[in-house]
Structure 1
């Protein structure tokens, strides 16, 4: 496998600003010293995703995801470490010198990377047919008829698949690609009798890209109007790189426009996206015929909090899509709706009225979703009390999805006016729904990151006393104290203590004879020792940017803190010392606590040896040794304020 030179990796890590990198995917807000957002990796209503500009790390205190800029790209894009480095290098204009991939490199590539490679080959193959093959003229005629320009065809990398049984499969195998990857992406179908054929034949090809621009799948439209057996549109099946619930067609081409205009237009089909993009509305994506999913909403929320859904003029289709929009509300996004005249869709309407008139129509006819849904149901329920009651409950269900209480209040008022019903009755119905939901869940409430000061020392002492009195797993206790030592080693490695000794020097000298039991902490300590032995003071970046994923993740977890000192303390001129202000005291106690717990284990081992000693003099010597250890253990306990029971 070809490697990125270390000096290039160092350059990438030095230039990759964590706030800029994460800010490409989520909207960050400053709070204290850190930046906060709702986590892009799991659903949440209150922000628990923290970015520390000073430390160059991110941490979600809800789902536990953590790391540096490279790890974030790995997590959000699902790429390997080298691919994440290349992504950042491209972002910051850093050239990555690499040798041409060797046969060994191809063999060592993971199955996931191989799926991307095969999909890219297929994409280029289909493009070449559209542009250069005789049959490609069929596809070009269709696209021209639909008003799609050559520039749009090239930008979205449209192609055409030959009307032949195994054209792509044969070409890929001839080029050296493995059949198992063709099958895994769904490009090739293997029959029971061993024969193989292409999934896509005689179709216009719409490649589907992930947010970083890599092809993950295809949508394909047949041009055979007389073929009743084949569906008009055929999509790639689910694979390791293609999950349709987490992909939006056109997002790669639209993401910058969405961010700049702070708005995302949502349509249904591929041609809707192409026509609008070509008409100057570049901030448009499609769900590709699937019901809107939470994963797709999370993708959009990285770039904007505002979505406008452009509906076809089909009433039945609108009603079927309403549940998906409730999901958008539940995720805290603002939703507008635009409907088109009966029989029109975004593609046909922009082709009919032109770009300028289409844009004007959207501006004039956009209305917030709750008002739209309320009017829709009110019209259906007119003159029917039973339907009216059902409609009101349906609207309240949607309003209940909105996390913002001010928005909920506004919509309750609007709904009460349209249905001519008392606003308080709507609120009562909402409260009833909320109560029923809480009773059904019966789950403990999880707290959000606090702003107030948290007394680490008192919490640690209380936990120590409770653990020691109740007993507990020796392994768990040792792990906790090893964790605290390594946390301080990473947080303040080069901070000077008394007599000009750094924190890392003091900790490693004091614990020289103690072997850490937790594997990842033992590795971290050994890395720090290796640095010191070479005359180099370890720093946090050595661990945050370490190539090994386990080291990176654990280092980031140790350096992440959900608590910050509230600025109100300073406003009221109340001084609260930070941990760093009491570093000599804190480091000494952390070392002492680990020695105390480690000594407990030694005492248990030595006491157990008494059962095996038969010589009277050796028994006396062993008892004396155990008593000496216990005396030392009690002295340590006294220093820590822990009562040691005999």
Structure 2
């Protein structure tokens, strides 16, 4: 496969707004000059993931992930550099010259990319069948019967698989796609004798998208009412790109609405999502009949901390799915519940009462999960002491999942009122559970602070090596060069000019920082002052990652200082002083290393005249060390 032209890459990088790109995956909130969110790459309760619009970079100060728009897509989607560029090109309507529909293209991609390409082909094939093939009328009749309009069908890319043995397989092979990828995605089934046929036949197709909109799998509903052997719904098997536990149906179409409304509705089936979305409730996703997983909860947590679960009016089904809600509580999200009348589900009920009445119903019948579960169990246990005791333990077990101690306190009080039981009994049961599981600290009365736990003694710090100290000083030089290359210092020189002039005879010993320094020099040799973009968009990933780290700052000065007219000098205000000291510290450490080297040489010298010469070198170096130390205000040199 040919490379994407550099001009096109530059155009993509120039147009890709880091705020927009990251904002498609997480809910960003402005704080100071940057935007912050909980990191999409690791679980955390307090936001440590920062996006700098001015520098075009992101950085998580918790797990260390960092980079530009392309790197973010690579990290969040687990895709290659070319595929990340293509994703951004599509987002910003930039045409990539090398991207042609030649069937050879499928064979030249790597394994993972090929699975995406085959899935995309199948998705377009099924859509074509629904809208263009004569058999597609069967699928269209079913969708119309379910109340779905043309706009919803197009938006969710619904399709139809022909009732033929190998319609998709034959079309894909004819177009040049390899059979191994059709098998790997589960689209084609191959028997031992070599016979191959389509997994999906005579079914309405529901493509399942990942958060960036790429098709990773399919759900399919049969339209045959007389086929008792075939399941009503059939899903794609697990593959390298499709993991049921990490996908939510409708999230790609719903994520913006979830972020805007700070709420996610959770339903069970595809048609629930489609009908609610069509009715104006776009912040809705489905677990597609599977038990809710931690991976799915983390997906939702990127956009909101609030989930409302919509239950069918089936008491047995509600009881069976309650344990999945505990997992949401354990991850620190707020959970509400809405139940529908007996025999109704979200799809049927919105068609029955209409969009406006349905929305009003959600508002009126939404209640927090703990209160809902408590009322449900209390009603079942009424008049039965044994069942009541079991119910209380069930409720306490759910409350124990909540990480926030204040919320736990509120729910203990609420539960005690509903069950008419002393609050302290519930707390005692909770503490007993914690002693058995040792998951959370024991608590006393909800009116009292949690029991004190002694803090472990800090480990004795290991001495920092000379190499690590030198690396730290070299890093500081490069950090200042990248952040303030063209900033004018007090002596009339820019930061770049001053530092490179002062360090002309100094050789960096850390390979990465030596490379970065040379890149700065090379750029200046062309008459151009290096910018942050030169490094965060650099082809080499090691350079990109380190440059992003150096350009990221976890701290920002609060605007309250300015509001109260309190002046606090910033690094820019003291840049001349900082640049001078950064250079002096590096020189000072280099001199110390030279002294150590010369001392080692002196121990090996036996000739008196050579010893004398070596001592003179050491005296000169010690004098230089003291001179720099005086300038730095260092009284005792170690």
Residue 626 of structure 1 and its aligned partner are, at CA, apart by: 5.2
Alignment deviations for residues 111-167 of structure 1 (CA, whole Å, 9 cap, x no partner):
322221111111112222333445444434443444444443333222233344433
Partner of 1:437: 439
SS at structure 2 position matched to 1:499:
coil
Kindly state the Cα deviation for residue 517 of structure 1 after the two structures are TM-superposed: 3.4
2:222 pairs with 1:222:
yes
For residue 392 of structure 1, report the CA deviation from its aligned partner: 2.6
Cα contact 2:129–2:135 (8 A) shared by 1: yes
User: By how many angstroms is 1:576 displaced?
Assistant: 4.0
Give 1:378 shift.
1.1
- 1:424 & 1:50 partners in 2: Cα distance? 42
| Alignment partners' CA distance in 2, 1:423 and 1:505 | 70
Match of 2:552 in 1: 560
Residues 1:105 and 1:607: Cα distance change in structure 2 (over 3 Å): farther
Number of the residue aligned with 1:495: 487
* C-alpha spacing 1:517/1:185, structure 2 compared with 1 (3 Å): farther
- Counterpart for residue 98 of structure 1: 97
- Partner SS, residue 572 of structure 2: helix
Is 1:237 matched with 2:260? no
Question: Residue 320 of structure 1: CA displacement?
Answer: 2.5
TM-score (norm 2): 0.85
Contact preservation (8 Å) 1:12, 1:94: no
Correspondence for 1:202: 202
Q: Is the 8 A contact 1:24 1:302 kept in 2?
A: no
Contact 1:2 1:105 in 2 (8 A): no
Q: Which residue of 1 aligns with 2:477?
A: 485
1:43 aligns with 43
Return the offset for 1:79: 4.1
CA 186–438 in structure 1, closer or farther in 2 if over 3 Å, else same: same
The answer to whether the aligner puts 1:523 opposite 2:515 as a matched pair is: yes
- C-alpha change, 1:512 and 1:398, in structure 2 (3 Å) is farther
In the alignment, the residues of structure 2 paired with residue 306 and residue 594 of structure 1 have an alpha-carbon distance, to the nearest angstrom, of 51
Give 1:75's aligned residue.
75
Residues in 2 aligned to 1:89 and 1:201: alpha-carbon distance in whole angstroms = 34
The Cα of 1:3 is off from its aligned counterpart by: 5.5
Alpha-carbon spacing, 1:480–1:340, altered in 2? closer, same or farther (3 Å): same
Distance 1:240 1:483, change over 3 A: farther
Name the CA shift for 1:67/1:203 in 2 (closer, same or farther; >3 Å). Answer: same
Partner of 1:166: 166
CA distance in 1, matches of 2:440, 2:522: 53
CA distance in 1, matches of 2:70, 2:97: 19
Q: Secondary structure at the match of 2:200?
A: coil
CA distance in structure 1 between the aligned counterparts of 2:189 and 2:622, rounded to whole angstroms: 71
CA distance in 2, matches of 1:8, 1:164: 43
Q: Is 1:44–1:331's contact at 8 Å kept on the other side of the alignment?
A: no
Aligned-partner SS, 1:580: coil
User: What secondary structure, in the 3-state scheme, does the structure 1 residue paired with 2:51 have?
Assistant: strand
1:184 and 2:184 correspond? yes
Deviations 1:380-421 (A, max 9, x none): 222233432332333234334445555444433322221112
Distance 2:112 2:517 in 1: 34
What CA distance in whole angstroms lies between the structure 2 residues aligned with 1:425 and 1:37? Answer: 39
- Give the deviation of 1:298 after TM superposition: 2.9
Residues 273, 329 of structure 1: alpha-carbon distance in 2 compared, 3 angstrom cutoff: same
CA contact (8 A) 1:258 1:283 kept: yes
Cα distance 1:239–1:599, how it changes in 2: closer, same or farther (>3 A)?
farther
Residue 283 of structure 1: aligned partner: 283
Paired position in structure 2 for 1:582: 574
The equivalent of 1:157 in structure 2 is 157
Q: Note the C-alpha offset of 1:288.
A: 0.8
Aligned to 1:292: 292
Q: What does 1:59-458 align with in structure 2 at a 5 Å threshold?
A: 59-88=59-88, 91=91, 95-96=94-95, 98-101=97-100, 109-225=109-225, 227=227, 229-402=229-402, 407-427=407-427, 430=430, 436-438=438-440
Residue deviations 1:493-537 (CA, integer Å, cap 9, x gap): 122223211212222233333343333322221211111111222
Q: CA deviation at 1:103?
A: 8.0
2:538 is aligned with 1:546? yes
Deviations 1:207-240 (A, max 9, x none): 1112222111111223445555543322222333
Secondary structure of the corresponding residue to residue 290 of structure 2 = coil
Q: Are the aligned partners of 1:86 and 1:96 in contact in 2 as well (CA < 8 Å)?
A: no
Give the structure-1-normalised TM-score. Answer: 0.84
Over 3 Å counting, the alpha-carbon distance change for 1:135 and 1:629 in structure 2 is same
Tell me how far apart the structure 2 counterparts of residues 538 and 433 of structure 1 sit (CA, whole Å).
Answer: 59
CA distance in 1, matches of 2:506, 2:103: 46
- Quick one: structure 1 residues 501 and 432, their matched pair in 2 at CA, closer, same or farther if it must change by over 3 Å? farther
Q: 1:336 aligns to what SS in structure 2?
A: strand
Deviates more, 1:272-281 or 1:113-122: 272-281
1:534 and 1:413, CA in 2 relative to 1: closer, same or farther beyond 3 A? same
Give 3-state SS (helix, strand or coil) of 1:143's partner. Answer: helix
Unaligned runs of 5+ in 2: 443-451
Contact 2:103–2:175 (8 Å) recurs in 1: no
The CA deviation string for residues 100-119 of structure 1, in whole angstroms up to 9 with x for no partner, is 53788656533322221111
Q: Which residue of 1 aligns with 2:468?
A: 476
Does the Cα contact within 8 Å between 1:129 and 1:159 map onto a contact in 2?
yes
Task: Compute the displacement of 1:344 (Å).
Answer: 2.9
Contact 1:2 / 1:98 at 8 angstroms: preserved in 2?
no
Shift of 1:253: 2.4
Structure 1: distance between partners of 2:46 and 2:386:
37
Who is 2:447 aligned against? none
Native 8 Å contact 1:4 1:96 kept in 2:
no
Give the Cα–Cα distance (whole angstroms) in 1 for the partners of residues 52 and 268 of structure 2: 39
Between the two proteins, the alignment pairs up a number of residues equal to 622
* Larger deviation, residues 306-315 vs 429-438: 429-438
Distance change (3 Å), C-alpha of 1:506 and 1:427: farther
Shift of 1:86: 4.9
Moved more, 73-82 or 603-612: 603-612
SS of the residue corresponding to residue 437 of structure 1 reads coil
Q: 1:282 to 1:581 in 2, by over 3 A?
A: closer
Instruction: Give me the whole-angstrom Cα distance separating, in 2, the residues matched to 1:614 and 1:193.
Output: 84
CA change 1:634–1:491 in 2 (3 A) is: same
- Contact map agreement 2:248 2:296 (CA 8 A) in 1: yes
Using the TM superposition, give the Cα deviation of residue 267 of structure 1 relative to its aligned residue in structure 2, in angstroms.
1.0
Helix, strand or coil for the counterpart of 2:344? coil
Conserved 8 A contact 1:507-1:587: yes
Structure 1 position 9, deviation (Å): 4.9
